[in-house]
Chain A
Amino acid sequence: MYIRDIREVLSSLVCVLTGISIIVMSLGYELGTAFNMGPGYFPLLLGIVLLVTGIFIAAGAVSWRVGTAKTTTSFDRRSLWALVVVAATFVGFAALLETCGLALTCFVVLSAAGMTSRLLRPLEAFLTAFVLSSISVILFVYVLDLQIRAWPW
C-alpha cells in the first residue's frame, strides 16, 4: 500500500476531523426526534455525511498496487510569507482602526503590506498608502458618511 498523493490524505483528514468535531458538538445540543427536531439533529446528519465523505476521499488517496509514493508537498515559503502578509494586514487593520482612526490605520497597514510583500519599494509603498488612505477617508468618511472614526483624536 502506498500513498498516491499526500494532499488527498490531508484533505481526507480535514474532512474526517471536522466531521467528528461537528458530530461531537451536535451531540452536546438537544437532539430531539425526527418528529420534533432539536438543534442537534440536522448538524448531526451533516457531521455524519462529512465524515463519510472524508473516508471516501481517503479511499481514493491510497492505492494497494505497488508504486512510488508521491509525498512531496509544494507549500513553499513564498506562499507562507504571502499568507502571513495578507493575514497580518487584516489583523493589523482590526487592531489599529478603533484607536488610531481610518487615515492612520490605512497608511500604516498598507505601507507595511506594500513593503513586506517585496513588490513595492519603500517610497512607492508609502506613496501608495498615502494616496489610498486619502481616498478612503474622503470617500467613506466624508462622502458616504460611514460611522468610521477618521482621525486618532
Chain B
Amino acid sequence: MLENILLGFSAAGTIPNLGYALMGALLGTLIGILPGLGPLATISLLLPFTYGLDPLSALIMLAGIYYGSAYGGSTTAILMSLPGETASAVTVIDGYQMSRRGRAGVAITTAAVGSFVAGCIGTLVIAAFATPLTKIAIDFGPAEYFSLMVLGLLGAVTMSSGSIAKAIAMVVLGLALGLLGTDVNSGTQRFTFGVQELWDGVDFIVLAVGLFAFGEIVSTLSSREPPLTQHASLSRMLPNMEDIRRMAPAILRGTGLGSILGVLPGAGMSMSSFMSYSIEKRFSGHGQEFGQGAIEGVAGPEAANNAAAQTAFIPTLTLGIPGSPTMALILGALVMHDIQPGPNVISTNPTLFWGLIASMWIGNLMLVLLNLPLVGVWVKLLSVPYKFIFPGILMFSCIGVYSTNFSVFDLYLTAIFGTIGVVLRYLRFEPAPLVLGFVLGPIMEENFRRAMLFSGGDYRVFVSTGLSAGLLATAVVLAVWMAWNSFRATR
C-alpha cells in the first residue's frame, strides 16, 4: 500500500502538477463561490481548460477544480444561505446561523479543516480498501438501497428542529417533486401539467435558489431592524480551543460515515451529510444548539461530504458507475483521457490510478493552503452593508439559474418555488428535508420497483437479507425514539 501511494505521489507530485492543482483549486473556488453556480456548473465551465494537458496533469487540475468548487458551494451556503449542491443544504442550517452571529470566519475555517481532514483520511481509505469497498457497492442490491434510503430520510426528519410530522411531510413532498417529469420506465409525464419545459424534471439549482436564497432575501428584507453589518476581526475568524475541541470528534464521525456511504453510487453522497447532521445532533452533546449555529452541524456534514466525495471515486473508477452528475462529468473527462474505468483499472494502469488518488490529496491540500488566507476576504464581504449585497445575490441567483439550462422558464419556476418556500417557511416547514427527498425521489422509486420486481411483488424482500433488515430495523428504532421524544415533549 505504501509503495503504491509513493508511486502515485512520485507521478503526481511534480512542480508543474502542483501548479495545476493550485490553479484548479483557485479557479474552482473563484467560480464555485459565485452564488448560483454550483460544483456541476463550475466543473462543466472549467473542464475545457484541462483538455490540452497530459492525462495526469489534467486529472490533478480537475481534482483541484472539483474540491475548489465544492468548497466554494459551502462558502456561499455559510455566507448567503445559498447551497450550491445537495450537501450544502445541510451546511446552510448551522453555517448560516453562525455567520449571522458573527462567526462566519469560524464556520468557513471549520468547513475547510473538516474537508481537509476528511480528504486525507478518505485518500488513505481508498488506498487501503478500494477492493473490499467495491464489494460493498456490489452487495448493495435494490432492497438494501431502498432500506438505506428509508433510514436516511428518517435521519433527515430527526434533524428538523420543529414538528416531526411537518418534517415527514417535507420529505414526502420532496420525493414527489423528485418524480416530477418523464418516468424513465414508461415514458409517462408525471405532475407536469402539460408543460413541456417540465418533462426533464426540476433542476436542483432552481429548488435550491427558490427555497433557500429567495426565502432568505425575503425574510431579511421584511425584518424591521436593518440587517447588522459585521466588522470582522481576525481573532473571531479563527476557531478557538473550545471550537477545535468540539469540532474534532464531529469531523472524525463524519469522515467515517462519509467514507462508507460515498461508495454507494447515487444515494451515498447526498445522504452522507444529512445523516452526519442527525448523528451529530443526537450524539455531540450539544443537540439543543443545533439550528442556532452549532459548530458540529458544520464540521460533521462537511467532513462527511468530502469523505464521501473521495470514496465516490471508487465506484466511478472500478465499476464505471458515477454516483452523481458531478462524478459523471469527471468520468467523462477520465474517458476522454483514455482511462477506461473498470475492475481492472488498478492493475492495468497503476500509475494513473494511484496518481489520481495522490492528486486528490494534493487537490485537498491546495484547497486548504489557498483558502485559509482567503477566509478573511470572504468575511470582509459581510462588512458591506446588506442593502448593497442583496441586489448582487439576486443577480447571481438569476444568472446561475438561467445558465443551468439557458431557459427563462427556470427563472419563472424559481419565482414559483420561492413563493411556495416563503409560504412553507411561514407555516414553519423546514426546507432541508425536502431537498434530500427531492434528490432521492427517483433513485428510491427505481430501487423500490426493482426490488419488488425481483421478489415477484413480495414486500418481504426488504427483510429477507440481513443487511436490508438491519437498516430497516435501525430506521424503526429511530422512528420509535423520535415518537417517544416528541411524546415526552408534549407532556
Query: Which A residues are within 8 Å of any B CB, using their own CB?
Result: 7, 10-11, 14-15, 18, 22, 25, 29-30, 33-39, 41-43, 46-47, 49-50, 53-54, 56-57, 60, 75-76, 78-79, 81-83, 85-87, 89-91, 93-95, 97-98, 102, 106, 109-110, 113-114, 117, 119-120, 124-125, 128-129, 132-133, 136, 139-140, 144, 146-148
Contact = CB atoms under 8 A, between A and B. Distances in A.
Nearest to B48: A145
A90 B415 contact: yes
Contact of A57 (B166, B191, B217, B226): B166
A87 B426 contact: no
A97 B402 contact: yes
B422 interface: yes
Contacts of A136: 395, 399
Interface in B399-446: 399, 401-403, 406, 408-409, 411-412, 414-415, 418-419, 422-424, 426-429, 444-445
Given A54-B169, A56-B165, A57-B169, A78 B222 contact: yes
B412 A94 contact: yes
13 contacts: A33-B457, A38-B188, A42-B444, A43-B179, A53-B165, A79-B218, A86-B217, A86-B218, A86-B418, A90-B398, A90-B418, A119-B386, A120-B388
Given A37-B449, A136-B399, A90 B414 contact: yes
Contacts of A98: 408
Given A87-B415, A93-B411, A148 B175 contact: no
Closest 9 CB pairs of A and B: A35-B457, A94-B411, A82-B221, A119-B387, A82-B222, A34-B457, A79-B222, A90-B415, A39-B183
Dominant secondary structure of chain A at its interface with chain B: helix
Contacts of B31: 144
A65 to B, nearest CB: 13
Given A34-B457, A75-B426, A86-B394, A42 B172 contact: no
Nearest to B31: A144
A75 to B, nearest CB: 6
B173 interface: yes
Contacts of A110: 391, 394-395
Nearest to B452: A34
Contacts of B165: 53, 56-57, 60
Nearest to B387: A119
B372 interface: no
B218 A82 contact: yes
Contacts of B401: 90
Contact of B453 (A29, A35, A75, A83): A35
Given A46-B176, A79-B218, A147-B406, A36 B169 contact: no
Contacts of A148: 399, 402-403, 406
B326 to A, nearest CB: 18
Contacts of B457: 33-36
A86 B214 contact: yes
Contacts of B176: 22, 43, 46-47, 50
A53 B448 contact: no
Contacts of B458: 34
A3 to B, nearest CB: 14
A140 B217 CA distance: 23
Given A39-B186, A87-B418, A46 B218 contact: no
Contacts of A37: 448-449, 452-453
Given A94-B411, A119-B386, A29 B172 contact: no
B422 A83 contact: yes
Given A46-B175, A53-B165, A39 B428 contact: no
B349 interface: no
B16 interface: no
Contacts of B45: 144, 146
Given A90-B412, A120-B387, A128-B388, 20 more contacts: A39-B183, A42-B445, A43-B191, A46-B179, A53-B165, A53-B168, A53-B172, A82-B222, A86-B394, A90-B394, A90-B414, A90-B415, A109-B398, A110-B391, A110-B394, A124-B388, A129-B391, A132-B391, A146-B403, A147-B406
B456 interface: yes
Contacts of B172: 46, 49-50, 53
A7 B169 contact: no
Nearest to B403: A146
Contacts of A114: 387, 391
A89 B399 contact: no
Contacts of A18: 173
Nearest to B398: A93
Contacts of B163: 57, 60
Given A42-B445, A83-B218, A94-B412, A113 B402 contact: no
Nearest to B444: A42
Given A39-B190, A119-B386, A89 B445 contact: no
A132 B392 contact: yes
A148 B219 CA distance: 30
Contacts of B188: 29-30, 38-39
A14 B165 CA distance: 13
Contacts of B444: 42
B185 interface: yes
A140 B175 contact: no
Contacts of B428: 7, 11
B459 interface: yes
